Amino acid sequence: MDGPTYTPEEAEAAARQFFEALASGRDLEHDPSDAIEFARANGLMVLFNEGVRAVFETHLERMPTDLEARWRDLIAGGARSEAFGPLTLQERLDERQVETALVAGRRQRIVNLFVTLVLIVGVAVGASWGWQEFGPGEDRTRGALQFADTDEPADVAAVEGGPPVAEPALSTALSDPVSVLAGDGPVADRVTSAPFVRFPYPPGSIGASLFQYANSGHVALVGPAGFTDDACLRVSVVTEELRPLDTVTHGPCVEVIGRDATVGCIGDTAILLALDIPTGEVALPEGGTGFADAIRLQLVADGAPDYEVLTVRGTIEVDPDSDIVIPRFGGQIGETIMFDTGAGRSGTCTLTGDFPGRP
């Protein structure tokens, strides 16, 4: 979308129109006038994928610098709300005007004293924010997804740890449908709401939770009977900027992305897929580094010939500064295990003895 730079009003209108189209068919509970707050308050960033990102980039390139920076902050995972606010008073206050006003009388002196106090507070807050944002700070050393300490080897059954008990903060449901019509033209113009009958299983029917088993990360998915054979499942370990660190695929998929999943447990209503979840800093292929901060899950439907994209998605993520660890469980090979991801979603599977790294 080549063209002149947007005015702030044109940029707001273009972004608002883009996200209203992206949210087509969804119930939006909030309607703030600011387009960024509109996208954030209604959770529309969950619909963002590489295709949508590429289309929205054409708008970003035409936006004023400050608005472009705010949108890129949100796309990258969000920033402190202070970064979007007005600058503090010290950038607008003229000290000569203050000195002149002090001569005008006692009442004006009291007013100016109050303004000076506000100025001091503003400078302190601004300095604190600037130090937090741009100061050296503490270097981050670990991802948000962390394991409990264990000496168990990675290539044998984890017989200790007890039955699986899901951590609510590390559990979710695949409940966010994303559908894009097939065809040419901008992706934003083709985002739509596909009827649920087009999905093999309805949004919300499959739950997921992270576990540690055989000294490795695994995601357990539970759902309706037969879904472990019929559903195309794709799971990715991603950074806070949604850069994939590991992607596994299982089931009858038209397009296999990443690698075939190692299945540690399988049954009619539950399946356990192994993931490579690094706990420290990782070098990214495109340059720079990142951390394992979230898990993105997808039920991928075959939408041909009507849809280019037809998925139901969910995300597991926690605060990097939290003390939440991925819970362990244990069991013998051949043992039947029950997984309960909450909200009435539970299923059983049998431990296979297949472990990450085993040929």
Residue 306 lies in a domain: yes
- Identify whether residues 126 and 233 lie together within a single domain: no
Residue 257 lies in a domain: yes
- Identify whether residues 79 and 96 lie together within a single domain: no
Domain that holds residue 129: 89-134
Predicted confidence band at 167 (pLDDT cuts at 50, 70, 90)? Answer: very high
C-alpha dihedral (32, 35, 38, 44), degrees to nearest 10: 170
pLDDT over 70 percentage in the chain: 82
Residue 109 lies in a domain: yes
- Identify whether residues 73 and 216 lie together within a single domain: no
Predicted confidence band at 22 (pLDDT cuts at 50, 70, 90)? Answer: confident
Q: Supply the DSSP symbol for 110.
A: H
Say how many residues make up the chain: 359
DSSP 3-state helix, strand, coil percentages of the chain (rounded to 5)? 30, 25, 45
How far apart CA 347 and CA 275 sit, in angstroms, is 20
Q: Is residue 102 over pLDDT 60?
A: no
- Identify whether residues 202 and 308 lie together within a single domain: yes
How far apart CA 329 and CA 337 sit, in angstroms, is 10
Instruction: Give me the pLDDT at residue 81, please.
Output: 36
How far apart CA 28 and CA 141 sit, in angstroms, is 38
Instruction: Among 24, 50, 84, identify where a domain stops.
Output: 84
- Identify whether residues 278 and 129 lie together within a single domain: no
How far apart CA 159 and CA 333 sit, in angstroms, is 9
Q: What DSSP line would sit under 15-68, residue for residue? A: HHHHHHHHTTTSPP----SSHHHHHHHTTGGGG--HHHHHHHHHHHTTS-HHHH
Instruction: Give me the pLDDT at residue 83, please.
Output: 34
Q: Are 272 and 241 in contact (CB under 8 A)?
A: no
Residue 305 lies in a domain: yes
Alpha carbon distances (Å) from 113 to 106, 324, 342 = 10, 48, 57
Q: Is residue 47 over pLDDT 90?
A: no
Residue 113 lies in a domain: yes
- Identify whether residues 321 and 197 lie together within a single domain: yes
Q: Considering only CA atoms, which of 16, 22, 335 is closest in space to residue 178?
A: 22
Residue 205 lies in a domain: yes
Instruction: Among 67, 84, 101, identify where a domain stops.
Output: 84
Instruction: Among 20, 49, 84, identify where a domain stops.
Output: 84
CA 140 to chain centre: 19
Q: What DSSP line would sit under 117-162, residue for residue? A: HHHHHHHHHHHHHHHHHHS--PPP-S-S--BPP----TTS----S-
Give the count of domains, the chain: 3
Residue 158 lies in a domain: no
- Identify whether residues 16 and 114 lie together within a single domain: no
- Identify whether residues 125 and 64 lie together within a single domain: no
Predicted confidence band at 94 (pLDDT cuts at 50, 70, 90)? Answer: very low
- Identify whether residues 223 and 98 lie together within a single domain: no
Predicted confidence band at 131 (pLDDT cuts at 50, 70, 90)? Answer: low
Q: Is residue 342 over pLDDT 50?
A: yes
- Identify whether residues 298 and 251 lie together within a single domain: yes
Give the tens place of pLDDT for each residue, 263-303: 999 999 999 999 999 988 888 888 889 999 999 999 999 88
Predicted confidence band at 80 (pLDDT cuts at 50, 70, 90)? Answer: very low
Q: Considering only CA atoms, which of 298, 218, 301 is closest in space to residue 263?
A: 218
- Identify whether residues 213 and 79 lie together within a single domain: no
Q: Is residue 193 over pLDDT 50?
A: yes
Averaged pLDDT score across all residues of the chain: 82
- Identify whether residues 63 and 102 lie together within a single domain: no
Predicted confidence band at 136 (pLDDT cuts at 50, 70, 90)? Answer: very low
- CA dihedral (37, 238, 274, 150) positive or negative: negative
